[in-house]
Amino acid sequence: MVVPGRATAYVSLMNAGMDEFQGLITESRNRATENIDQLSTIDMLRAIHDADHVVLDAVAEEIPNIARALDGIVERLRAGGHLVYLGAGTSGRLGVLDASECPPTFNISSEMVQGIIAGGDGALRDSAEDVEDDAEASVQDLKRCSFGKGDILVGITASGRTPYVLGGIAYANSLGAMTVGLSCVPGSKLAQAAGFAITPAVGPEVIAGSTRMKAGTATKLVLNMLSTGAMIRLGYVYGNLMVNMRPTNEKLQRRALHIVMEVTGLNQEHATVLLQQAGSIKTAIVMHRLHLDRDTAERRLSQAQGQLRKTLEES
């Protein structure tokens, strides 16, 4: 039985951009996996794995673009701006995931890096695909989080054409905010609309249109670079140690102790006493290295905007 409303919707689609949709790389069939449903289990998994190899090279090609965007992000964050990820479906979930990991890893506020998904937090678990077609919804979502001129919006959509994301980018551009477009289709609408374009061209998916696969993997890799790179540049990392982390459970408390032992050379007993006296990893290291009391160590860190290396080098 044909449902009238649905039939009308399909006719509308035929009249509005079907040719463009069919031409998308993200919707094309991957010739290497056309018969994947006939392969043995081990050959099927090898086909998926072989396709994933493309992702690393595609992201590597975009490193110069990622670097340019990252420098702009750091400049705005230093000035008090916020980094906001915006996406629908898989893209939105990956943005929320990356943002939610930043506070415990780098001990920053939850407002500094935020993730917005079309349909709200409920869409993290239950799909809300219809919302991605609403360009105005993203504008309202950005207004709710008080997005402003000094902030950075990273719009994420594998196809580079999702209305929800394009609407958000247009709004951010109108404010004069920094905009970054992360997609997997070179020359996409998003790449053209955003101030900075990051476009790892991963090619057709193993399962045609299933952008949670290669495109999703590429997205995760790029977001890792943006957030981690920003925190490194802001001084929340010393060497490759997360000295600004928030030790909120036993595992993280052990990690904090290990970091203090690693940097100071103290044994476990002395490092434990030092960390208890200091109250934080960075303060403990400054107290030990510069032979200071806690108040003076904290004051030196504050003068260096919380950057451990700068504190130690200036002293």
pLDDT digits (tens, 9 = 90+) for 32-41: 667 877 889 9
Residues of the chain with CATH 1.10.8.1080: 250-314
Report which listed range, 2-11, 43-52, 188-197, is most confident. Answer: 188-197
Spatial distance between the Cα atoms of 153 and 86, rounded to a whole number of angstroms:
7
Residue with tokens 């105005």: 136
- pTM confidence score: 0.86
Instruction: Please give the order of strands across the beta sheet that includes 196-198.
Output: 113-117, 83-87, 152-156, 178-182, 196-198
For domain 53-233, give the CATH number. 3.40.50.10490
Residues of the chain with CATH 3.40.50.10490: 53-233
- 250 carries an active-site annotation: no
Assigned token pair, 18: 């079907």
CATH architecture group of domain 250-314: Orthogonal Bundle (1.10)
The arithmetic mean of pLDDT across residues 93-113, rounded, is: 94
Res 150: pLDDT: 97
Catalytic residue among 132, 250, 269, 314: 132
The arithmetic mean of pLDDT across residues 92-103, rounded, is: 95
CB 196 within 8 A of CB 179: yes
Catalytic residue among 20, 61, 62, 101: 101
Buried b (16+ CB within 10 A) or exposed e, 77-114: beeebbbbbbbbbbbbbbbbebbebbbebbbbeeebbb
pLDDT higher than threshold 90 for residue 7: no
Assigned token pair, 191: 């790449």
CB 80 within 8 A of CB 151: no
CB 21 within 8 A of CB 27: yes
The arithmetic mean of pLDDT across residues 108-112, rounded, is: 94
% residues pLDDT > 90 (the chain): 72
pLDDT higher than threshold 80 for residue 6: no
- 129 carries an active-site annotation: no
Assigned token pair, 246: 């928030």
Res 13: pLDDT: 47
Band of pLDDT at residue 46, cut at 50, 70 and 90: very high
pLDDT higher than threshold 60 for residue 136: yes
pLDDT higher than threshold 60 for residue 225: yes
pLDDT higher than threshold 60 for residue 201: yes
Strand, coil or helix: 59: helix
Band of pLDDT at residue 10, cut at 50, 70 and 90: very low
% residues pLDDT > 70 (the chain): 90
pLDDT higher than threshold 80 for residue 1: no
pLDDT higher than threshold 60 for residue 19: no
Res 182: pLDDT: 98
